[in-house]
Structure 1
Amino acid sequence: MTDIQFIERDGRREYAVVPIEVWERVKHLMEEAGDVALFDAAKASDDGLRVPAAVLDAELAGDHPVKAWRNYRRLTQDALARAAGLSKPYLSQIENRSRKGGAEALRRLAQALDVPGDILAESGE
């Protein structure tokens, strides 16, 4: 091994200066440590929710989130309206955006679709 130079401040080692050949052999370890830290942070904040590609594709194509999730869950409007305790016309109006749908209606729909409530709200709601 080659010599490493230490720089001290107030009698304590504060920096280490290593020859470039040593750095070239170990620098990947620093990059890997950073990657591991990022992964660990992402994993710690993971809420477990995964949005299926079919739902995302439907929303990007213009479907209301309620409709996208209803279709993904393979529910009819009748079945979802019944499960959420709403009328089918009201559900239809939410899905085609002629009515916004109140917070309570969206909460019921989210519960019936087994998704977090905020996932059904559109931008600006």
Structure 2
Amino acid sequence: MLAKPTPSGLSPFEIPAFRTSVVRCDPGGMSRYRWTSGTRPVIARFVWDGWPFELFGDHRPVDQQRGWIHFEVERRLLALDGGTLRRAVGKLRADGLKTEPAFAAVLGISGDPYRGLLQLAAETDAELRARLAVRGLG
């Protein structure tokens, strides 16, 4: 008999197997964190074959998670730009800034860069193009 899939799309039988596989990847142990605010997502960090990994789990569908919304805004902005934005953000990232703060700096977004990018998600492509043009981008 097949188990009913969970909201993640995995059957209840696959989730423990996935967890066991992930734990087995890092014999040195895995760091696990649970946020205490919002939807209380879980983060697991481990190293496998010399590569660091971070798994993020949230009960919300991916397209409603802040990280995905940031990714989509960044993708849209880069698609509307001719390469200047990509180079400017890339330089700041190479200098040590994280992605969202780098985008915010290049776009002139003041305050919390993560909230600022979330607010851009509601803008149309025409509004994003205008924002890029004001900054000499696009």
The answer to whether the superposition gives a TM-score over 0.5 is no
In the superposition, the TM-score normalised over structure 2's length comes to 0.23
The structure in which a higher percent of residues are helix is 1
